[in-house]
């Protein structure tokens, strides 16, 4: 197995201004492609520290992936430091300039002198053109090991990893083992209860198959990963384990797709030609934003109402004001009417509605923080459920989104 | 200046299962207390890697802060590895057992055998009792340097850092340098144009003041950091540099707060007693979700409409159907009517509306992907602006959110 080290560069990562979400994403994608991240190191925009990090990484890993510090401004010194480390110099590259100019044109902007300097690249590296931004990706080889420098901007990094870097790594370091993944979205269990329920299943797994619990809000996501040089045997064993798992969780597996719930719904709604709207109280727009983050969602997603104030629930969604008084906003009748209201005003087949106490304030003894009512409708079928989540606002919002999507998924 | 290294331990951090939000928070708190984090390292639950990380950290830092790997389960090996590194052994500590028992009682649970083992602690360290969980915090000294091991559970770690570890570090390592930060949200510039504009300002900065460009969507965030043992002189010089910067960017600084735009608006709207609603097309609920992520936003945030389909713009927000036909959804008249519609139906003082082509589909030669119209209203004042962002959907959504908030900020 080839060891991978991720080095993230940037003062902003060391003073706590930016949370590094990149390296977790990278580790996940690398894992799926058969590469194991063994170390992560963060250093500031400081030549000495960067050089030492390169030195150390090359001493213990075969693949070194570096993010950040390659903007055109003075504080970004990764490119210069790469030159020093690899004993080379910056040279002007016409082809890179063309790409940079194209990216800048795409932004309806003029290419200025500073951005032009992005076309200076270290002499003895392979340049990978960055189609998402102006900082070129550079690929270095040294004694059979690889260092790749890429932007720290998340969408540029994601594009570079998926489109260019991982495919090239797979060519350079062929993973000899076949890798198979299976994915399960599981409801009705907490992580610890599920772990207890699956304890003997997990203990009896052959050594080349591993079970992982992936963090999700409100549901549990399981991944079974098998690695073996025997493709047919691996397939057979993975099938066997799948049958065992299905038998252990007869009514609990919501989906076997390797995708977020919004992507699973996106696919299903398109296939079935159904339209969707949402009415959100405690999820506050998050649920709508999950669908609208997906390109092409306008095919089925008609819109939503964030009815934070009770007046909005009443006037826009048509919730009965006496129900708001009698049962409170976080209640079965209100969430039902919110879903029906969204379905009606957006004229959609399906609707999801959420109403709950996200916290930290607003809880009462009868309805503590974490209490959430959720309704899902598909045509004339409806599912309504009360959930009890956590004390944490962010986690409650995400769990309510996932559970709302799960309820709709069960209706489709 | 005493150098700090943070070591985070856990397999879950290396396979992308958990995003490390702890170390950014720790770095921020340490920075405020005058300690600079210079390195961050992540290793798995593996003795060899942990020992090497300790060795390296002690070779380059004075303060080593270690999180994770101290639960009672088999996979957590940090405590044992600390014993090996410091040539000591685990001993049973009655006082720790009392604290552990107290914490367990607080959770309405019984103390089981596994949790009891938490009271075994390395012999030659100072134990800091953990009042938030069952894993004791341990403090080691070696040749004038310090290593502290603490839980990885965020709220336990935060309690330990604020209540115990930072105060003790301040006693052990009195900070000689004073640190000052200044923050600027800048509009009207791309990062490269701003860097060109500020080139001589940056070159003329005294050596103890550094300028950094922080990545943001749609605006530029600058940070000026000064460090000096002379508090008065530092204050004077930082003031001088601030005056120079304000003169260089007379109409471009949107805010000097060190916070996200939604948090700046949250504070301002509460102070001024103004209410807010949103009407979102291309931002698809993201803008509402930024505000509703903030606890207490219901004081001013009344709600929003995600008017993805034109029918919703027309029927819910009252946009004139002939304007939708004549000018298209992405146009000045439509975004204006969307903002007015939100202001009216939610009965708010302020409103923000967005309508644009997020991409990747939907672009035309006249309105390419990245074209976004944004309107902000505060009472009878309005700002409307056309923006040209990028080809990337995620980035366009975030930029539109930030630029919408910027327009409102300028009206307040």
Tens digits of per-residue pLDDT, B63-85? 999 999 988 776 789 999 999 99
A164 and A59 within one domain: yes
A218 and A275 within one domain: no
Number of domains in chain A: 3
Report pLDDT for B108.
61
Q: Which of B42, B301, B309 sits opposite A39 (nearest CB)?
A: B42
B295 and B217 within one domain: no
Give tens-digit pLDDT for A253-263: 999 998 899 99
Structure tokens at B262: 């939604």
- From chain B, the residues in CB contact with A295 under 8 A are 359-361, 393
- From chain A, the residues in CB contact with B389 under 8 A are 107
Closest-CA distance of chain B to residue A143, Å: 23
Find which of B24, B158, B184 to mutate to test the A interface (most A CBs within 10 Å of its CB): B24
- Residue B128 φ then ψ, to 5°: -105, 120
State the pLDDT confidence band at B36, using cuts at 50, 70 and 90.
confident
Please judge whether B389 and A107 are an interchain contact, meaning their C-beta atoms are less than 8 angstroms apart. Answer: yes
Any idea which of A24-28, B131-135, B145-149 has the lowest mean pLDDT? B131-135
Domain boundary among A255, A270, A292: A255
Whether A306 contacts B292, CB under 8 Å: yes
Give tens-digit pLDDT for B5-34: 999 998 888 888 788 999 999 998 898 787
Whether A351 contacts A318, CB under 8 Å: no
Domain boundary among A172, A189, A205: A172
Q: Which of B20, B23, B306 sits opposite A303 (nearest CB)?
A: B306
Please judge whether B213 and A71 are an interchain contact, meaning their C-beta atoms are less than 8 angstroms apart. Answer: yes
A224 and A339 within one domain: no
A194 and A121 within one domain: no
- From chain B, the residues in CB contact with A19 under 8 A are 19-21, 24
Give tens-digit pLDDT for A71-113: 888 888 999 999 999 999 999 999 999 999 999 888 777 888 8
| Bridge partner list, B91 | B121
- From chain B, the residues in CB contact with A289 under 8 A are 283-286, 288-289, 397
- From chain B, the residues in CB contact with A297 under 8 A are 284, 308
B292 and B202 within one domain: no
Please judge whether A309 and B288 are an interchain contact, meaning their C-beta atoms are less than 8 angstroms apart. Answer: no
Handedness of CA A230, A231, A232, A238 (dihedral sign): positive
Q: Where are the beta strands (DSSP E) in B44-192?
A: 63-67, 90-92, 120-122, 126-128, 137-142, 145-150, 178-186
Residue B177: half-sphere exposure toward Cβ, Cα within 13 Å: 16
- Residues B269, B254: Cα–Cα separation, whole Å: 16
Report pLDDT for A149.
97
A160 and A233 within one domain: no
**DSSP result, B138-159:** EEEEETTEEEEEE--SHHHHHH
Please judge whether B27 and A16 are an interchain contact, meaning their C-beta atoms are less than 8 angstroms apart. Answer: yes
Handedness of CA A160, B402, A278, A300 (dihedral sign): negative
- From chain B, the residues in CB contact with A285 under 8 A are 278, 280, 285-289, 292, 304, 306
Closest-CA distance of chain B to residue A244, Å: 25
- From chain A, the residues in CB contact with B37 under 8 A are 14-16
- From chain A, the residues in CB contact with B214 under 8 A are 12, 17-18
Structure tokens at A4: 């991978």
Contacts of A239 (CB under 8 A, 6+ apart): none
For the whole model, what pTM was predicted?
0.82
Closest-CA distance of chain A to residue B170, Å: 18
Structure tokens at B212: 């950094």
**For residue A193, is pLDDT > 80?**
no
- Residues A108, A103: Cα–Cα separation, whole Å: 9
Structure tokens at B105: 């009682």
State the DSSP code for A131.
Answer: S
Q: Which residue has better confidence, B53 or B177?
A: B53
Report pLDDT for B94.
95
Closest residue in B to A286 (Cα–Cα): B289
Q: Where are the beta strands (DSSP E) in A346-394?
A: 350-356, 371-378, 381-388
Q: Which residue has better confidence, B229 or B373?
A: B373
Using DSSP, state whether A294 is helix, strand or coil: coil
Closest-CA distance of chain A to residue B10, Å: 11
Residues present in chain B in total = 412
B32 and B125 within one domain: yes
Report pLDDT for A215.
63
Please judge whether B289 and A292 are an interchain contact, meaning their C-beta atoms are less than 8 angstroms apart. Answer: no
Closest-CA distance of chain A to residue B28, Å: 4
Could you tell me the CATH number of the domain that includes residue B115? 3.40.980.10
Domain boundary among A255, A283, A318: A255
B216 and B275 within one domain: no
Please judge whether B17 and A215 are an interchain contact, meaning their C-beta atoms are less than 8 angstroms apart. Answer: yes
Closest residue in A to B196 (Cα–Cα): A114
Angle B251-B386-B378 from CA coordinates, rounded to 5° = 65
Q: Which of A15, A45, A309 sits opposite B27 (nearest CB)?
A: A15
Closest-CA distance of chain A to residue B13, Å: 7
Rg (CA), chain B: 27
B149 and B92 within one domain: yes
- From chain B, the residues in CB contact with A304 under 8 A are 285, 305-306, 308
Closest-CA distance of chain B to residue A389, Å: 16
Closest-CA distance of chain B to residue A376, Å: 18
Could you tell me the CATH number of the domain that includes residue B322? 3.90.950.20
Question: In what helix (H) or strand (E) does residue A391 lie, and over which residues does it extend?
Answer: none
Question: In what helix (H) or strand (E) does residue A126 lie, and over which residues does it extend?
Answer: strand A126-128
Closest-CA distance of chain A to residue B411, Å: 24
Could you tell me the CATH number of the domain that includes residue B223? 3.30.70.2860
- Residues B401, A365: Cα–Cα separation, whole Å: 37
Report pLDDT for B1.
66
ipTM over 0.85: no
Please judge whether A108 and B370 are an interchain contact, meaning their C-beta atoms are less than 8 angstroms apart. Answer: yes
- From chain B, the residues in CB contact with A305 under 8 A are 303-306, 316
Closest residue in A to B291 (Cα–Cα): A284
- Residue B92 φ then ψ, to 5°: -80, 135
- Helix axes of B78-85 and B47-60: crossing angle, nearest 10 degrees: 50
Number of H helices, E strands in chain A: 17, 17
- Residues A390, A369: Cα–Cα separation, whole Å: 7
Rg (CA), chain A: 25
- From chain A, the residues in CB contact with B405 under 8 A are none
Question: In what helix (H) or strand (E) does residue A358 lie, and over which residues does it extend?
Answer: none
A136 and A13 within one domain: yes
Q: Which of A16, A132, A289 sits opposite B284 (nearest CB)?
A: A289
- From chain A, the residues in CB contact with B296 under 8 A are 361
Q: What is the mean pLDDT of chain B?
A: 93
Closest-CA distance of chain A to residue B328, Å: 16
**For residue A26, is pLDDT > 80?**
yes
Using DSSP, state whether B226 is helix, strand or coil: strand
Section B349-363 average pLDDT:
95
Q: Which of A37, A39, A42 sits opposite B39 (nearest CB)?
A: A42
Report pLDDT for B177.
79
Report pLDDT for B87.
96
- Residues B10, B59: Cα–Cα separation, whole Å: 22
* Nearest residue to B211 via CA among A45, A70, A133: A45
State the pLDDT confidence band at B205, using cuts at 50, 70 and 90.
very high
* Nearest residue to A78 via CA among A49, A100, A117, A39: A49
- From chain B, the residues in CB contact with A11 under 8 A are 210, 212
Question: By residue range, what is the domain housing residue B246?
Answer: 178-255
Report pLDDT for B107.
64
| Bridge partner list, A160 | none
- From chain B, the residues in CB contact with A18 under 8 A are 24, 214-215
Using DSSP, state whether B186 is helix, strand or coil: strand
* CB crowding B352-373: b at 16 or more within 10 Å, else e: bbbbbbbbeebeeeebebbbbb
Find which of A10, A16, A300, A329 to mutate to test the B interface (most B CBs within 10 Å of its CB): A16
Please judge whether A75 and B210 are an interchain contact, meaning their C-beta atoms are less than 8 angstroms apart. Answer: yes
Q: What is the mean pLDDT of chain A?
A: 93
A308 and A237 within one domain: no
Please judge whether B304 and A303 are an interchain contact, meaning their C-beta atoms are less than 8 angstroms apart. Answer: no
């Amino acid at each position: 197995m080839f060891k991978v080290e991720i080095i993230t560069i940037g003062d902003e990562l060391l003073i706590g201004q930016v949370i590094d979400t990149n390296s977790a994403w990278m580790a996940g994608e690398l894992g799926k492609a058969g590469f194991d991240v063994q170390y992560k190191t963060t250093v500031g925009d400081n030549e000495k520290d960067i050089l030492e990090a390169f030195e150390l990484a090359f001493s213990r890993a075969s693949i070194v992936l570096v993010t950040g510090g390659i903007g055109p401004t003075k504080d970004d010194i990764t490119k210069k430091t790469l030159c020093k480390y690899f004993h080379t110099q910056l040279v002007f590259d016409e082809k890179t300039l063309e790409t940079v100019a194209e990216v800048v044109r795409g932004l309806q902007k003029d290419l200025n002198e500073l951005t032009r300097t992005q076309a200076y690249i270290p002499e003895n590296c392979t340049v990978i053109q960055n189609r998402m931004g102006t900082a070129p990706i550079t690929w270095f080889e040294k004694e059979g090991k690889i260092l790749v420098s890429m932007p720290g901007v998340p969408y540029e990094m994601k594009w570079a990893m998926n489109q260019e870097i991982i495919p090239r790594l797979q060519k350079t370091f062929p993973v000899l083992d076949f890798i198979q993944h299976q994915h399960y979205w599981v409801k009705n269990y907490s992580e610890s209860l599920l772990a207890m329920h699956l304890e003997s299943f997990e203990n009896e797994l052959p050594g080349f198959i591993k079970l992982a619990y992936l963090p999700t809000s409100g549901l549990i996501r399981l991944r079974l990963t098998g690695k073996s040089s025997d493709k047919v045997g691996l397939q057979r064993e993975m099938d066997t384990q799948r049958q065992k798992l299905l038998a252990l969780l007869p009514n609990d597996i919501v989906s076997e797709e390797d995708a977020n719930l919004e992507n699973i719904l996106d696919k299903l709604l398109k296939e079935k030609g159904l339209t969707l709207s949402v009415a959100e109280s405690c999820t506050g727009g998050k649920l709508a934003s999950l669908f609208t983050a997906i390109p092409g969602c306008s095919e089925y997603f008609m819109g939503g109402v964030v009815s934070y104030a009770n007046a909005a629930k009443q006037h826009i969604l048509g919730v009965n004001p006496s129900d708001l008084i009698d049962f409170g906003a976080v209640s079965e009748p209100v969430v039902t009417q919110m879903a029906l209201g969204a379905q009606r005003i957006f004229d959609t087949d399906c609707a999801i509605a959420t109403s709950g106490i996200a916290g930290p304030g607003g809880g009462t003894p009868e309805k503590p923080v974490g209490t959430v009512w959720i309704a899902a409708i598909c045509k004339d079928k409806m599912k309504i459920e009360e959930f009890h989540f956590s004390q944490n606002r962010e986690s409650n919002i995400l769990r309510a989104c996932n559970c709302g999507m799960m309820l709709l998924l069960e209706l489709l």
